[in-house]
Amino acid sequence: MVIPTTAVLLLQDGRFFIGKSFGANGETRGEVCFNTGMTGYQEILTDPSYCRQIVTMTTPHVGNYGVNPNDVESNRIHVAGFVVKEETDVPSNWRSSQSIGDYLREQNIVGIQGIDTRALTRHIRDNGAMNGIISTMDTNIESLTKKLKNAPQMAGLDLAKEVTCKTSYRWNEIEKKQFKVAAIDFGIKHNILRLLENHGCDVSVFPANVTSNEIMNFDPDGVFLSNGPGDPSAVTYGIKMVKDILGLKPLFGICLGHQILAIALGAKTFKLKFGHRGCNHPVKNIETGKIEITSQNHGFAVDLDSLPSNVDATHVNLNDNTSEGISCKKLKAFSVQYHPESSPGPHDSRYLFEQFTLLMQS
């Protein structure tokens, strides 16, 4: 059994929390945010969209069902740090292969436990997401404050280039599918690729900096723009590529892909106060009037007032009325801000993958 040492979490505005180490010993910096999901911690840890972020879980007990090799959303943990109220170091689940603490230590991820995560969450809600530092080596607040001053702010950061694949690859291994799809990897999740495959797509994944010429030479039936971390306006190469192929191929975007598509169409994005992260966010489908409970993970949003006249708002967040989906029917392009692949989360929105195949069919 690993005996935890003292750990400190210091926020950019001077608020600090003293707890115990969780995972690897060391020091880490990143934007501190919170996730309201009661489950799915392994998918959260391995979601590339959390690159450079310290994630706080609002549910008090984390690690109850352990960790297994099948529920990962990428090839490694991407969070910068992890904050929980209490670690479950003896998991109970037949699929479990190790505890969450062992998993974090194995991949050298620093975390903190034993702090008031409710107070931390309320502080972020009131004051906005901000940079923080977790340390199990240095508990001196003055020293940590100096280290934190050098941490870059999330606004303006292009993090897609840090998490994207280095070279293109084919996701499907066996049978030929009906639709040939080029998926642009800005930080793509495995379950998105699985669902594209399940809906008859033969998927080839391309790096974030792929050019429009490379895409057109590949000649897909449709192009998918994936989720990912960082500021969408900083992904200038991705925006240019989308601009160049608009109207030439059907386009479907999720999360960062939604924001990149919106900018390419002429809209603007902005940073949310503390973002949307969790599995229970209500979204209204404006076209059908139905309410979907959705899985979300984003810190930026599309400015609805900046949408050009040829772009329609298709979905809206019922918590704060921000953009959750757009469509440009003339150019055969649509996108959503939330995560219809729902890993973790409800399956209300998986119809969007069928909508993409129907667009390619037409």
Q: What is the pLDDT of residues 272-291, one digit of tens each?
A: 999 999 999 999 999 999 99
- Which residues in the chain are classed under CATH 3.50.30.20? 6-148
Q: How confident is the model at residue 172 (pLDDT cuts 50, 70, 90)?
A: confident
Q: Whole-number mean pLDDT of the chain?
A: 96
Respond yes or no: is residue 51 known to be catalytic: no
What pLDDT score does 3 carry? 83
Q: Which residues in the chain belong to E strands, given as ranges?
A: 6-11, 16-23, 27-35, 53-57, 61-62, 81-84, 86-87, 110-113, 130-135, 169-170, 179-185, 201-207, 222-225, 251-254, 269-285, 291-302, 312-317, 323-328, 333-336
What pLDDT score does 1 carry? 65
Q: Does domain 160-361 have CATH number 3.40.50.150?
A: no
Using the predicted structure, report yes or no on whether residue 176 has a pLDDT greater than 80: no
180-194: average pLDDT: 97
Respond yes or no: is residue 106 known to be catalytic: no
The Cα 217–Cα 313 span in angstroms is: 32
The Cα 193–Cα 203 span in angstroms is: 7
Which CATH number is correct for 6-148, 3.30.465.10, 3.30.830.10, 3.50.30.20, 3.30.360.10? 3.50.30.20
Q: Among 33, 51, 255, 279, which one carries the catalytic annotation?
A: 255
pLDDT in tens, 204-222: 999 999 999 999 999 999 9
Q: How confident is the model at residue 231 (pLDDT cuts 50, 70, 90)?
A: very high
Find out whether the peptide bond into 250 is cis, omega within 30 degrees of 0. Answer: no
Using the predicted structure, report yes or no on whether residue 314 has a pLDDT greater than 70: yes
Q: Among 43, 73, 87, 341, which one carries the catalytic annotation?
A: 341
The Cα 107–Cα 110 span in angstroms is: 9
Using the predicted structure, report yes or no on whether residue 85 has a pLDDT greater than 80: yes
What would the two tokens of residue 274 be?
Answer: 């503390």
147-164: average pLDDT: 96
Using the predicted structure, report yes or no on whether residue 173 has a pLDDT greater than 80: no
Contact 109, 7 (CB under 8 A): no
Respond yes or no: is residue 339 known to be catalytic: yes
Helix (H, G, I), strand (E, B) or coil at 278: strand
Using the predicted structure, report yes or no on whether residue 152 has a pLDDT greater than 70: yes
What pLDDT score does 362 carry? 86
3-12: average pLDDT: 94
Task: Please report, for residues 194, 195, 228, the alpha-carbon distance to residue 256 in angstroms, rounded to integers and kept in the order given.
Answer: 19, 18, 5
